[in-house]
Amino acid sequence: MPDLVCVSREDADQFGCPCCGRHDTFVLLDAGATRRLCCRGCENNFVTLADGVDQSSFSITVGPEQIFPRVQRHPLRRSRKTLRVM
């Protein structure tokens, strides 16, 4: 299973890279709601989707596969207290 983390753009703005939490990223692909970023800290790729979008409208190549990234909970979200109720 390809490992490409996908989070909402809001979460990425707030919590940074899903792996290390850095905000130092650069854009690899920017196509409407879908944005693929690379972290300068851990060199991991991840995808962000615009608010209200829960799945990318087109596929992204990850190794030998094409996947349609779906928004998942930001991995670092649970490490901080948040009062936001979904």
- Binder among 5, 39, 47, 49 for Zn ion (CB under 5 A): 39
**Inter-residue contact 43 to 2 (CB < 8 Å):** no
If binding is defined by CB under 5 A, does position 20 make contact with Zn ion?
A: yes
Half-sphere exposure of 70 (CA within 13 A, CB side): 2
Q: Of 36-44, 45-53, 68-76, 77-85, which segment contacts Zn ion by CB under 5 A?
A: 36-44
Looking at beta carbons only, is 6 or 39 nearer to Zn ion?
Answer: 39
**Sign of the CA dihedral 13, 14, 16, 19?**
negative
- The footprint of Zn ion (CB under 5 A) covers 17, 19-20, 22, 39, 41-42
